[in-house]
Amino acid sequence: MALITQSSIPQINVEIEYPDCDGNPMSDNTRQYRLIVMIKENLEIFYATVMNVFVGGDLLWYPIEGDNKTRLAPDVMVAFGPLKGDRGSYQQWKEGGIAPQVAFEILSPSNYAPEMEEKRKFYETHGVEEYYSYDPDRFRLKGWLRQTNQLLPITEMNGWVSPRMGIRFSHIQGELEIYRPDGRKFLTSVELDQEARQAQLAAIQQAQRADHQTQRAKQAQEQAQQAQEQAQQAQEQVRSMVVNLLRSGMSAEQIADIAGVSVDRVNESR
């Protein structure tokens, strides 16, 4: 009987799958969805020209190669280092080992404290530097900042400026507002469209004003040229009259009085 050893057993390479979907909905209501999209899209706009900043929304993040159970889909995440581009999931070992540095969670009525604490622990364990959560129903904005190996609570979020992104959080009368470093407010897609339309209208009006100014300047130039031509014609008419009167034998003084010009002018026409 042949001896069976470990080395004689055929090795079967099992490829581990990392699903792109965990079956959980992105949001439970329109308000939560609107806030998620607003934050994600405004961050996309903010970093549009920076190719090595990836912004994801509701994208499964797998931090450990070979482990498809340890995963989480932040409502919004920002990773500095990985290039932009489409992904089915964020597999950290394929992203240069870079964990998303910033994560956002927008709570729904179905999110309870134990679940949110598990998410915070996940972010703390796997390297997130800044974590922000907002409960639009209870008007609660919270933030955590990494200190060594811990995510510690930010004591005051109203007016807080993200160390990584430079964006500012405002939490006045319960409503969440976020501002870029240049002071521009994060807007919804409808507000962005309205802003673009207003800018387009302003540009059209400015072009129309410039066109009107050009037309007025052209008209003024034409009027000035016409006046100059009329003055020249009048001068020619006076000169012709003076010449004819001189030929008739009238004196320079008489002609000057009739034509309304100086005697010197009459003498110049001799």
Is the pLDDT reported for residue 235 higher than 50?
Answer: yes
CA-nearest of 160, 105, 101 to 134 is 105
* Tally of CB atoms within 10 A around 25: 10
| Tokens found for residue 6 | 């470990």
pLDDT of residue 45: 96
Q: Which residue has the tokens 């100086």?
A: 262
Q: Is the dihedral of CA 90, 92, 97, 98 positive or negative?
A: positive
174-210: per-residue pLDDT in tens? Answer: 789 999 999 999 999 898 888 878 878 888 888 888 7
CA distance 171 to 163: 18
57-111: per-residue pLDDT in tens? Answer: 999 999 999 999 999 999 999 999 999 999 999 999 999 999 999 999 999 888 8
Task: Tell me the whole-structure pTM to 2 decimals.
Answer: 0.73
Instruction: Return phi, psi of residue 61, to 5°.
Output: -110, 120
* Tally of CB atoms within 10 A around 83: 11
Task: Average the pLDDT over 219-241 and give the result.
Answer: 81
Task: Average the pLDDT over 210-217 and give the result.
Answer: 82
Share of the chain above pLDDT 70, in %: 91
126-145: per-residue pLDDT in tens? Answer: 999 999 999 999 999 999 99
Are 253 and 242 in contact by the 8 Å Cβ rule? The answer is no
pLDDT of residue 146: 98
Give the pLDDT band (50/70/90) at residue 233.
Answer: confident
Strands (E), 185-248: none
pLDDT of residue 242: 66
Give the pLDDT band (50/70/90) at residue 264.
Answer: confident
pLDDT of residue 144: 99
Q: Which of the residue ranges 44-48, 158-162, 204-208 would you say has the lowest mean pLDDT?
A: 204-208
For the chain, give the mean pLDDT: 88
Are 153 and 141 in contact by the 8 Å Cβ rule? The answer is no
Round to the nearest angstrom and report the end-to-end CA distance of the chain. 144
Is the pLDDT reported for residue 10 higher than 50?
Answer: yes
Share of the chain above pLDDT 90, in %: 55
pLDDT of residue 54: 98
CA of 250: how far to CAs of 246, 262, 263, 267, in Å?
6, 15, 12, 12
Contacts of 208 (CB under 8 A, 6+ apart): none
Give the pLDDT band (50/70/90) at residue 151.
Answer: very high
Is the pLDDT reported for residue 171 higher than 80?
Answer: yes
Give the pLDDT band (50/70/90) at residue 1.
Answer: very low
Are 104 and 133 in contact by the 8 Å Cβ rule? The answer is yes
Give the pLDDT band (50/70/90) at residue 214.
Answer: confident
pLDDT of residue 160: 98
